[in-house]
Homo-oligomer: A and B are copies of this chain.
């Protein structure tokens, strides 16, 4: 078994056994060196966004003191949900290795596939969304555009 994926799996076991959260672990590697290890912490932190991949990204970016992790790879014990997939994209990580697949997570009660289906337009959105005040909100985009020497992510 791939040694980094094995570490991600070890994190998943540790998270379940400590009651931290769901059965998921992730590891971020930079130049063959482990930068961050994490497991799901939804229960221990009460943060619904504390999935293993997100916690690992937070730890890695803190450690490397940068939000651009384009020289890193991520290993996850399960295929990332759309929140984590998108977080990996925002972090600019280019390689992802994963063990279980989304339908495996679905079989044990996790809603990843349902959210994927909503985004893909294959299922009705559970969130009632309403757009309003666009004109007023666009003003901050204009201010941003006119800002000098701004960073991007």
Contact = CB atoms under 8 A, between A and B. Distances in A.
Interface of A: 1-2, 5-6, 9, 12-13, 16, 21-23, 25, 42-43, 45-49, 51, 54, 57-58, 61-62, 64-69, 77-79, 81-83, 85-101, 104-105, 107-109, 111, 115-116, 118-121, 126-134, 136-141, 143-145, 147, 151-153
Contacts of A126: 89, 94
Nearest to A109: B152
A153 B22 contact: yes
Nearest to A147: B16
B48 A134 contact: no
Given A2-B133, A42-B153, A78-B137, A128 B94 contact: yes
Contacts of A67: 42-43, 46-48
The majority secondary structure among interface residues of chain A is mixed
A45 to B, nearest CB: 8
